[in-house]
Amino acid sequence: MDRPVKAIGLMSGTSLDGVDVALVETDGEDVDALGPGQTFPYEAADRALFEQALEAATSLTDRTARPGVIEEAEQRLTERHEQALAAFFTEFPEHRDVSVIGFHGQTVLHRPERRLTVQIGDGPALLDAVRAMVPSPGPVLAYDLRAADVAAGGQGAPLVPVYHRALARRLASPGPMLVLNLGGVANITFIDGERDPVAGDTGPANALIDDFMKARTGTPCDRDGAAAACGTVDEGAIARLLDHPFFAKAPPKSLDRNDFRAWVAQRGGLDAMSLEDGAATLTALTAASVAACLPLLPARPRLVIVAGGGARNPTLLAMLRARLGIELVTADAVGWSGDFLEAQAFGFLAVRAVRGLPLTFPTTTGAPRPLSGGRILCA
């Protein structure tokens, strides 16, 4: 087996909140050590530009095209990643000897049914900038990690499950368990020993809540679930919203950030609800859509480990506990990092990509066979 190397993962997720940078030491199979992580939040103007790029991307048919605002967004995003890495290396100069960098970029469109997934982020420009920050020869950079899977007919997401399985190996009793990531979109990984993990997106996590809060109050999220905690869930709305074919489909399955926007506008009845009831109902929708996935899994998990920004929302965690009826703990409680798990995963996935190991499996993305991927740039 190849020796472990230092890898840095860079993640900009669907919630558009910032760049996460995290370090792992790994051979691409096991995780030897978890290093530091840092978040570099986007400014409001960056976020507005990325939101415009998401809107503009809905009409893309070519994943390499960068018309108008999308090109501007790609340059800004790459610049923000360069700044994030520079700040990370200033804080942790001992990690300038990193061997591999995994650059996720920002998903602006995800339509796997049309074999189309678009992540903006200029790999060559980022690597050029990195070379000026580190001693020669500098790291290998892997990016565009979803493309090969989608081209082969897979969902192209989620990619993190193989990392979840590597982390699960470090736990005392891995048993059938579920890792639940609550970012903009929610995704799960069902792990049962060394079998290929079973995975998929389950529905919205925070994106709809964030959009609702922004429209009603101008704030970016329902901080600590405070509004939802004071509201009453409209169970009729939950039933109407769950009556969508996506929720009945067994994993693997994946979503675009904005897939349920129109559905909720049509069926949610949120306009007639108070701020608190609307927030409570959307928070319950996230919990209920995770619960709807349980009967579609190979077995009932004994433990749920929750990561992502939603793990900081106690109202959402309480609703999940009530609707799942399974012991639920946060990633931090088991010694993982809820905030940096995805960034670490992209460092781990980049090492796998460089070593030609599979990133995706028939059970995680519906790929026809285990597939590696990513574009690899050498220093």
Ligand X SMILES: CC(=O)N[C@H]1[C@@H]2OC[C@@H](O2)[C@@H](O)[C@@H]1O[C@H](C)C(=O)O
Binding site for ligand ATP (CB under 6 A): 13-15, 17, 181, 183-185, 206, 210, 221-225, 308-310, 312-313, 342
Is 267 exposed, middle or buried, given 0-12, 13-18 or 19+ CB atoms closer than 10 A? middle
The structure tokens listed for 181 are: 């990531």
73 neighbors 105 (Cβ within 8 angstroms) = no
Q: Where does this chain bind ligand X (CB under 6 A)?
A: 13-14, 107, 110, 117, 157-160, 183-185, 187, 201, 254-255, 342
Among residues 55 and 327, whose Cβ is nearest to ligand X?
Answer: 55
- Minimum gap (Å) between residue 77 Cβ and ligand X: 13
- Minimum gap (Å) between residue 187 Cβ and ligand X: 4
Among residues 178 and 185, whose Cβ is nearest to ligand ATP?
Answer: 185
- Minimum gap (Å) between residue 134 Cβ and ligand X: 25
The structure tokens listed for 297 are: 């899994």
Among residues 234 and 256, whose Cβ is nearest to ligand X?
Answer: 256
CA 370/CA 366 separation, integer angstroms: 9
Distance of CA 302 to the CA centre of its chain: 23
- Minimum gap (Å) between residue 225 Cβ and ligand ATP: 6
Partner in contact with 306, chosen from ligand X, ligand ATP, none, beta carbon below 5 to 8 Å by kind: none
Among residues 140 and 254, whose Cβ is nearest to ligand ATP?
Answer: 254
Among residues 118 and 233, whose Cβ is nearest to ligand X?
Answer: 118
Partner in contact with 221, chosen from ligand X, ligand ATP, none, beta carbon below 5 to 8 Å by kind: ligand ATP
Distances (CA, A) of 352 to 21, 120, 160, 267, 372: 18, 21, 12, 42, 8
Partner in contact with 78, chosen from ligand X, ligand ATP, none, beta carbon below 5 to 8 Å by kind: none
Partner in contact with 222, chosen from ligand X, ligand ATP, none, beta carbon below 5 to 8 Å by kind: ligand ATP
User: What is the β-pairing status of strands 327-330 and 31-41?
Assistant: unpaired
Q: Is 74 helix (H, G, I), strand (E, B) or coil?
A: helix
What letter represents residue 133's amino acid? M
- Minimum gap (Å) between residue 341 Cβ and ligand ATP: 8
Residues annotated in a binding site for ATP? 13-20
11 neighbors 20 (Cβ within 8 angstroms) = yes
CA 123/CA 141 separation, integer angstroms: 7
Among residues 138 and 184, whose Cβ is nearest to ligand X?
Answer: 184
The helix (run of H) or strand (run of E) holding residue 84 is: helix 69-91
The helix (run of H) or strand (run of E) holding residue 341 is: helix 341-354
- Minimum gap (Å) between residue 84 Cβ and ligand X: 17
